[in-house]
Amino acid sequence: MENNASGAKRLLAEKHLDIEAECRFRHVKNETEKFVFHCHEYYEIFLMIKGKALHQVNGKTDIVEPGTLIFIRKDDVHDYKSVDGSFELANLAFSENTMVKLLEYLGEGFPAKALLESEYPTEVRLSNNETKRLYLKMAELNTVNFSDSSKLKFKMRKLICDIFSDYFESPAEPNLDIPFWLENAYRKMRDPRNFIEGKERLFALAGRTREHTIRCMKKHYGTTPSEYVNELRLLYAANLLISSNLNTTEICYECGFQNVSWFYNKFSERFGVSPGKYKRREVEKL
């Protein structure tokens, strides 16, 4: 352990990670842990699973509750303090080499720059069911024979890749003004099984009245449920035109549109050409 320029304790990989597996998973309870301002020469992901805590990071303080998932970068200076009793979190720490390999694998389509260079760590809020599922996946690392570093490294890298691709694909500064119910519905609507059903599915996921959901969508995302659903459907249609052997009419219905002419008009507005011309143009690029 050493101090960085800010005076915070800098935790070293050789002291806190399995050097061969390049990772360490811990279930942390505040009652048995002494927290101090610190940073790392490695990376970590933590998931709050019980209670509340004040998370102080890079000069900013937020309350983190169960379901909060945060990616801590190298040299982020942070600390935890209890709010009103005990809290628990799942912590997965991993090496710089693992991070480099992950970003190489994910490629240029993954927003690594935004994730690594934002002022504050990326934060995502999960539903209760998602929190339980992710914690169980993280806890599975404790069932691996720790003498088998190769197996542990494989399990750890697979999990980290899943977490980054599922939850950190669209990094942004956390907007605590967006209600969780809206943020959760907005993200889940990116699943084709949901947006194919249309805006009624969004209202169901939100669990609020249509009027309230529409107002909140416009306020926080600058769009309406109909506009959002149509954008997701059109992007899906554009990909199906290139990646499937379905014809344009089949794609129209596959994406949830009910009127072929309306689909043609909306597609042409969005991409500047008809579906047929779009397919020919994009296929020629391959």
Residue of 97 and 177 predicted with greater confidence: 97
pLDDT value, residue 3: 57
Kindly tell me the sign of the dihedral angle through the C-alpha atoms of 54, 95, 155, 142. Answer: negative
Domain that holds residue 121: 2-167
- Tell whether 142 and 208 lie within a shared domain: no
Q: Is residue 188 in some structural domain?
A: no
* pLDDT digits 0-9 by tens, 147-164: 888 999 999 999 999 999
Residue 171 has pLDDT above 80, yes or no: no
Output the domain CATH number for residue 252. Answer: 1.10.10.60
Q: Is residue 120 in some structural domain?
A: yes
Of 115, 148, 167, the residue at which a domain comes to its end is 167
Output the domain CATH number for residue 116. Answer: 2.60.120.280
Of 147, 167, 187, the residue at which a domain comes to its end is 167
pLDDT value, residue 147: 82
Q: Is residue 246 in some structural domain?
A: yes
Q: What is the pTM of this model?
A: 0.69
Mean of the per-residue pLDDT values of the chain: 90
Residue 8 has pLDDT above 70, yes or no: yes
- Tell whether 153 and 229 lie within a shared domain: no
* Mean pLDDT along residues 119-138: 90
Residue of 273 and 9 predicted with greater confidence: 273
Q: Is residue 175 in some structural domain?
A: no
- Tell whether 12 and 109 lie within a shared domain: yes
Q: Is residue 185 in some structural domain?
A: no
Q: Is residue 181 in some structural domain?
A: no
- Tell whether 152 and 13 lie within a shared domain: yes
Q: Is residue 172 in some structural domain?
A: no
pLDDT band at 285 (very low <50, low <70, confident <90, very high): confident
Count structural domains, the chain. 2
And the tokens for 63? Answer: 């309350």
* pLDDT digits 0-9 by tens, 208-229: 999 999 999 999 999 999 999 9
- Tell whether 161 and 209 lie within a shared domain: no
- Tell whether 151 and 206 lie within a shared domain: no
Residue 80 has pLDDT above 60, yes or no: yes
DSSP assignment of the chain: -EE-TTS-EEE-HHHHSBTTTTEEEEEEEGGG----SEEESSEEEEEEEES-EEEEETTEEEEE-TTEEEEEPTT--EEEEESSS--EEEEEEE-HHHHHHHHHHH-TTS-HHHHHHSSS--EEE--HHHHHHHHHHHHGGGGS-TT-HHHHHHHHHHHHHHHHHHHSSS-----TTS-HHHHHHHHHTTSHHHHTT-HHHHHHHHTS-HHHHHHHHHHHHSS-HHHHHHHHHHHHHHHHHHHS---HHHHHHHTT-S-HHHHHHHHHHHHSS-HHHHHHHHHHH-
Q: In sequence order, what are the residues at sequence separation of 6 or more whose Cβ sits closer than 8 angstroms to the Cβ of residue 168? A: 71, 115, 122, 124
- Tell whether 160 and 101 lie within a shared domain: yes
- Tell whether 159 and 210 lie within a shared domain: no
- Tell whether 103 and 236 lie within a shared domain: no
